[in-house]
């Protein structure tokens, strides 16, 4: 991401889309976009609409892991549980081999 690309997206895509959405819901066109602090993003003072009612603000550094559930170990726990269940299924399989077992899996079984 480059600063000018993000700035262009904010002013020419995000702001008009938010205005249209809020007006369609008969709400005041006022919004706040919370962003993760990233060095490639433009400064927060440039992320303000022409009327000042739609703006972007950055979260303080090192706070996303405290407020975003996926950063609180959910992804790692999911991966660990998935691996454990897959290994248990492979060990208990009665087919001729691991590769045959894996070929028989479908998306529904994988999700379960």
Instruction: End-to-end CA distance of the chain: give it in Å, rounded.
Output: 37
What does the pLDDT read at residue 33? 94
Alpha helices in 1-112 (DSSP H): 3-9, 15-24, 64-67, 74-92, 98-104, 107-111
Hey, what are 44's tokens?
């927060």
Average pLDDT, the chain: 85
Average pLDDT estimate for 85-110: 80
**22 confidence band (pLDDT: 50, 70, 90):** very high
Residue 18 · residue 54 · CB < 8 Å: yes
> How crowded is residue 89: how many other Cβ atoms within 10 Å of its Cβ?
15
Q: Cα separation of 28 and 61, whole Å?
A: 30
Question: What is residue 16's predicted lDDT score, i.e. its pLDDT?
Answer: 96
Q: Does the pLDDT at position 68 exceed 80?
A: no
pLDDT computed for residue 100 by the predictor: 80
Distance set, CA 76 to CA 29, 55, 72, 73, 79 (Å): 39, 33, 9, 5, 5
């Amino acid at each position: 991401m480059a600063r000018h690309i993000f700035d262009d997206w904010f002013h020419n895509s995000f702001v008009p889309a938010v205005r249209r959405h809020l007006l369609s819901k008969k709400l005041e066109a006022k919004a706040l976009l919370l962003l993760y602090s990233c060095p490639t993003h433009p400064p927060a003072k440039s992320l303000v609409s022409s009327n000042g009612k739609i703006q972007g603000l950055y979260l303080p550094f090192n706070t996303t892991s405290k407020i975003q559930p996926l950063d609180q170990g959910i992804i790692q726990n999911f991966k660990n549980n998935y691996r454990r269940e897959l290994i248990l299924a492979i060990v208990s399989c009665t087919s001729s081999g691991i590769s045959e077992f894996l070929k028989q899996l479908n998306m529904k079984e994988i999700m379960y």
